[in-house]
Amino acid sequence: MNFKRNFFKKIIIASMSAVIGLTGFALAGQAPSASAATKADKIISLGKKYMGVKYRFGAPSGVTYAFDCSSFTQYIFGKYGVKLPRISSTQATKGYKVAKANLKKGDLVFFTTARTGKKIGHVGVYVGNGKMLHTYGKPGVMYSSINSSYWKSHYVTARRVI
């Protein structure tokens, strides 16, 4: 009787281990990138809804009548559970570094500005095809090429936070 009980326990444990292992293998191969891509698309889609909303340096967190670059990224990422600090230079310490050649939708891209000199002073969201969604100056929330002469010469780094 004891032999049968131990035998069946081993079969059940081996079967459960196989099911758990195969499930983990399937999830490891697809789910993380698929969910990250979906989250990036949702964040970008939300950001697009604010096209043309005016730029205001120091705009408060959580408002949508005006944004500065980092309040914009903080707001749209926050709506999808990604908590970012309020300041662009601090946002540049989150997640992990990504080479410009390996940018994916939803990556944060960071730049210097005339106001900040050699320090990070601007952030945008990479949307693919060499473009970012961000807010800066008169047009407010807009698309810009990260390879335009200005942004290319002020590029510092990129971070993946999703």
Q: Hey, which residues are catalytic here?
A: 69, 122, 134
What CA–CA distance (Å, rounded) separates 37 from 26?
Answer: 17
Query: What element of type H or E holds 126?
Result: strand 120-128
**∠99-95-26 over CA atoms, to 5°?**
90
Query: What element of type H or E holds 153?
Result: helix 149-154
CA distances from residue 21 to 12, 15, 17, 25, 28 in whole angstroms, order as listed = 14, 10, 6, 6, 10
